[in-house]
Amino acid sequence: MLRADPHEDSAIDARAATLIARGDSIVFESRLAGHLGRWLTAHGRSGISSIYLRCEAVVQALRLVEREDGRATREAIEPLLRTPPMAASLIEHALVLRGHPGPASKAATIIEREAARTIADRARLRSLYGVEFDDPSAYDHVFDTTLSSVAACVDSILALGAPAPSVGDGAGVSR
C-alpha cells in the first residue's frame, strides 16, 4: 500500500511525529527514528533519545529465520551460513541457501523477503525524505547486538536513562 501511495507513508510519519512531539509516545520504533528524533529536537522537543540497533548480516539472517520459521530451521541452516567465506548481506545469505534443499530453501525465501523490504524501504525513504534510514550518524546511540541477548540490549538501553518499557506497549529489540 505505501509503495503505491507515498502520501499515505508521509501521513503516517506526520502522525508519528505529532504523537512524539506532544509527548504521547515514550517508545517509537521506526526506520526514521533517528532522523525524526533529530528533527523534533531541532524544533524544540526535549528528552528524545534515538537508538540504532545493528548486527552482522549472518546473525540478522539467523534471527529472522528463527522468528519466522522456528529454531529447528535456524539450526539446520546455521552451518551453511557460518561456512567461510561468510556473506556480507542478507541477499548474499539467501543466495548461499538457494543451492540447498529443504529448510534452506524456505529460509532463503524468508531472507529474500526481508532483503526486498529493506531495499524498497531504502529507496522509498530516500525518495520521500532524502535520508538513509540505516545511517548510524542520525542516531544518538548505536548498539551492536551481534553478540547480545535481548535482555542485555534492554539493560544497555535502560542504562542510558530511558524509561523502562511496559509489558504490551509494543516496545522491543529486534535485528
Give tens-digit pLDDT for 5-17.
666 777 877 887 7
What nine digits make up the cell of 53?
540497533
Give tens-digit pLDDT for 28-76.
778 888 998 888 888 888 888 889 999 999 999 999 999 999 999 999 9
Q: Where are the alpha helices (DSSP H) in the chain?
A: 6-22, 33-42, 57-69, 71-81, 90-98, 103-129, 150-159
Amino acid letter, 121: D
pLDDT of residue 166 exceeding 60, the answer is no
Residue that has been written with the C-alpha cell 530453501 in this structure = 105
Domain ranges of the chain: 1-161
pTM score, two decimals? 0.77
